[in-house]
Every structure is written in C-alpha cells, then in structure tokens.
Structure 1
Amino acid sequence: MATGLDGKCALVTGVSGSGQVGVAVAQALADLGASLAISARNRANVEARAAELRSRDARVLALPADLTNEQQVNEAIDRMVREYGRIDILVNLAGGLTRYKPAVEHSLDDWQHEMNNNLLSSFLCSRAGFVRMRDSGGGTIINFARAGLPQANMVAYNCAKAGIEALTRTFALEGRDVGIRVNAVAPGLVDTESNIAAMKPKDLKHWAKRDDVAQAVAFLASDASAGVTGQVLAVTGWGV
C-alpha cells in the first residue's frame, strides 16, 4: 500500500543517541515510506542507530560526518545522492545546548561552539541540500528552532536558535520559485532520555513527546503541508 513519502529520500542529521528525537523522526519518515540517510559526528553511534532502524524495516544509509565542516557536509550529501539518486527531504536536527552559564562568563569558544553546532551546521547542510533539490525539481527542508522566550544562562544557544528562524525564512523566500519549502519545528521540553536523566522531572504531563515532534516533522515533510513554507511550528505538548 502506498504511503505518504513513498519514493522520497530523506536525510536526518543529529541521529546519534538512543532515546533521542532523531531516532523518532527517522522512524516516522521511514514509516511513511521514505528511504533514509542519517548523520552525526560519532561513527559508532550513527551506525548503531542505523542498525536499530533497519531492524524495524527502514532502508537506511549511515553517513558519519562533522556537520560543521563544509567538505564533510558536501561529501555526505554527495554520497547520499550517489546511493539514492536524489535528496527530497532534509531535517536539520543536529545541535543542542552544551554551554550553560551566565552571559558574561561565556567565552569566545563557548559562543563559537554553540553557533557552529546549531547554526553553522544547519546553514551548511541547507545550502548543500538546497542546490541538489533545486537541480532535481524541488524538496523540503525542516530546521529545528526552539519554543518560548529566551532563557537565562544560554546566550549563545538562544542566539543560534534565533538565527535558525532567520535562516528558515530566508531559504524559504529563495526556495519559492524552485519548488523548495523550508520550515522549522520549535519544540519545548521533550521527553528524551537525556532530558529526563538530567532534569529528573516528577512527571512528564506538560512535556512534548518525541513522537509528537516526529509527527510534526512528518507533516512538514509530506504533501499534507504543501501550502506551508517559511513557518515555525511550535510543539510544546501541554506546556504552553
């Protein structure tokens, strides 16, 4: 039976840790019929996640790469295109909060680290993916912003995620005439294994579920959102 993404080829970045959003996103796209490529810096983790997804009947190509490195990004996407013949969907999930301290204590290295992991990686992947989608007639790019107002002690991360929204809208404007839609998902607190371990919540009733985030991505990747571009979709569970 045909499903929503049959024949489509999707690259999901940041698929590294078990119990994280990346695996849920990749599985949701595979369940709709997409062939997958997944990427993150750690080779062992990427290959382990690929094996897990294959065990659930997904077609998966593992692409270990440093996504802050221009050459490695281009090589990874070129390999995907050689393997599958195309890239139709790009999900820029790589990144995350790693520097948590008052703004005046952020070093230049802290700033550059958060900017590179969150904003530079999304730019490099979007630029490379956009060119290949344009040449093949169109596609969809989905970035990851953040929901809610900026929080204290994460100035570099806040600024990087604000940059993601600008990146999304700029690529969306430039994609209008070449059939490329560009949107972002903005999660609130999500029930990832790492978040639960770090924050030890008493309950999760106000948190978004990984599968909720994955279904939002699947919606933006599919023809169900054919009229949607340049938008940021908040996924906050009940924590509005």
Structure 2
Amino acid sequence: MSAPVGEHDAVPPVLSPGRFAGRSVLITGAVQGIGRAVADRVVREGGAVTVVDRADLIASVADELTAVSPESIRVTPVEADLETFGGARAAADAALTAHGRIDVLINNVGGTIWARPYHEYSADQIEAEVRRSLFPTLWMCRAVLPAMVDRGAGTIVNVSSVATRGVNRVPYAASKGGVNGLTSALALEAAPHGVRVVATAPGGTLAPQRRVSRGGDARTEQEKTWYSQIVDQTVESTALGRYGTLHEQASPICFLASDEASYITGSVLPVAGGDQG
C-alpha cells in the first residue's frame, strides 16, 4: 500500500519545536520510509542530524533536510553499508567528527525482502533477510556504545516490528525478534552507564513508492499472492482497521528518543493500530 508521493514534503501535523536543540542525532535508513520521516521531524525540532544509508541518494536527502531546518543546521550525510561492522563504525565516526558526540541513535534499517512461506525460502535468502533486518541494528548499537558509555549518557531507539507474528516472512520475523531481545538485554547492560535502549514495533504503514528497491519485489503471480496474504493478515489483525502513516510512526520514535521518555528503557512499544504482534 502506498501514500501520496509528496508525503515527505508535508510538515508533520504535530511538532515540538526545540525538542532536539543541541542534540546530535544519528538516523539510519534515512533515504525513505520511516527513517526519512524521523529525520525530517528531528531536523524540524532542532536536532543536529547525521543521516546514514547505503544509497547514494543520501547526499540529496541531507540537502533536503538542511533546507527545512529552522536553524539552517547542516545535515551530515553518510553513505555506508550497515550490514557490516565497518560500515557502522564509519557512520558513528562521521557523526562524532561532525558533532563531537552522539546523543541519540535511531536504527531504522530493515524490511522484508521476500514474501513467501518459510519452506519456499532458499538458504541464501534466509541469510540475506537476517543480514538486512538484524545486523544493521546490532552493528550500530555496538558502534555508538563506547562513545555513549564514555559520556555517561545516550539513547538508542530501535525500530522493530509487530511482524514477529506474521505470515510469509519467518526470517524477517526472527530478525525483528532478535531486535526485541537486543533491546531488552542491552537496556540492562547500558542503564548503569546512563544509556537508555528502547524500541517501537510498527505495524502496516503507508509510504510513498520506494526510491530504492529492497530487491525482492513480487514478480510472479504466486509471489503477488503471497504478498497479498501479508497485507490481508495485517489489516485483519489491526483493531483500527487501517494502515498507519509515516507521521504516526515517526512521532512515537521521536518521543522515545527525547527527554520526555527519560524513565523508559528496555521497552518495545507497539505502534500498530491495536495489532500486538
């Protein structure tokens, strides 16, 4: 399902001006989707932002975000493959070089590549799904933690999914279950160092047509049927009976990333219209 292509051009319906003023915020997966919406909101709320993506479009996205910054704060783009620790470390180093510290990390990289029953996945496809939807979050948490621990402060917001209980995407579900486990376990380790670790679990979300394909687009009639089963199950599981919007996903992520959530850690917040996963 898709929303109007211009959704990223719209000002979020609710803003908290100055909420991220003086904060260095690193946002991954920022070229499109939830990551792009989060970056837009953080910039409008005064954050000094480093945006990361493996697509070279990230440079033009940074220019677009700089243009809407209320203080004309330059947004720092980083092109990196976060499926590797080297890429994650390069992203963290770039943020530290540009802003001197990382106050907030928001992990958005991930997403189902293929839609099919588990017995129809090849071994290579299973590994690719896990690399896409678990390792970028694992690596980025590891890359930023030393700087946060040294400062005795920081917040990590992971974007998980309610699809840990869903059809036709078992490897993705397992990856997001790993993100949930990472969130709760790391929160216990990090709390004594003044670092919070939280997550949201989005449900079905409307978004503009993807600027960069995940690579597993449904092509055959069978693949289209398997994908339709995901959509049908999502709508049936959602109490509100509809998909959410990008703004409805970005808003709780930014709340958890802010000082308004200073007494919340280790929690995974479903943002799915009543679908608990």
CA deviations on 1:128-160 (whole Å, 9 max, x unpaired) are: 111111112210000111125522211100100
**Alpha-carbon separation, structure 2, partners of 1:111 and 1:70:** 20
Q: Is the 8 A contact 2:164 2:174 kept in 1?
A: no
Within 5 Å, which residues of 2 pair with 1:18-29?
20-29=33-42
Matched residues, percent identical?
A: 32
Q: Which runs of 5+ in 1 are unaligned?
A: none
Q: Which secondary structure state, in structure 1, belongs to the residue aligned with residue 113 of structure 2?
A: coil
| CA drift at 1:31 | 2.2
| Partner in structure 1 of residue 221 of structure 2 | none
Structure 2 counterpart of 1:53, one-letter code: L
The equivalent of 1:110 in structure 2 is 125
Report SS of the residue matched to 1:183. Answer: strand
CA contact (8 A) 2:156 2:196 kept: yes
CA distance in 1, matches of 2:259, 2:66: 25
Number of the residue aligned with 2:66: 54
User: 2:85 and 2:107 mapped to 1: Cα distance?
Assistant: 15
Paired residue for 2:114? 99
Distance 1:164 1:149, change over 3 A: closer
User: Which residue of structure 1 aligns with residue 55 of structure 2?
Assistant: 42
Q: 2: CA distance between counterparts of 1:235 and 1:194?
A: 21
Q: 2:150 aligns with which of 123, 132, 135?
A: 135
1:172 corresponds in structure 2 to 187
The Cα RMSD (Å) is 2.4
- Asked if structure 1 preserves the Cα contact closer than 8 Å seen for 2:43 and 2:49, the reply is yes
Change in 2 beyond 3 A, CA 1:148/1:114: closer
CA shift at 1:2, angstroms?
Answer: 7.4
Q: Residue type of the partner of 2:88?
A: V
Counterpart check, 1:70 vs 2:106:
no
Is the counterpart of residue 151 in structure 1 residue 166 in structure 2?
Answer: yes
Is the 8 Å Cα contact of residues 146 and 161 (structure 1) preserved in structure 2? yes
CA distance in 1, matches of 2:17, 2:67: 21
Aligned pair in 2 of structure 1 residues 156, 239: CA closer, same or farther (>3 Å)?
A: closer
- Is residue 192 of structure 1 aligned with residue 207 of structure 2? yes
AA aligned opposite 1:60: V
- 8 Å Cα contact 1:30-1:59 kept in structure 2: no
CA contact (8 A) 1:209 1:237 kept: no
8 Å contact kept, 1:91–1:142:
yes
Count of residues in correspondence between the two structures: 235
Structure 1 position 30 matched with structure 2 position 30? no
Rounded Cα–Cα distance in structure 2 between residues aligned with 1:127 and 1:182: 12
The alpha carbon displacement at 1:205 in A equals 6.6
Using the TM superposition, name which of 59-68 and 20-29 deviates more: 20-29
Give the structure 2 partner of residue 218 of structure 1: 254
Deviation at 1:9, TM superposition (A): 0.4
Q: 1:234 to 1:108 in 2, by over 3 A?
A: same
Gaps spanning 5+ residues in structure 2: where? 1-15, 211-217, 219-226
In the TM superposition, what is the alpha-carbon distance from 1:125 to its structure 2 partner? 0.1
Query: 3-state SS of the aligned residue for 2:162?
Result: coil
Q: Is the 8 A contact 2:85 2:143 kept in 1?
A: no
- Greater Rg, structure 1 or structure 2? 2
Contact 1:206 1:238 in 2 (8 A): no
Give TM-score scaled by structure 1 length. Answer: 0.90
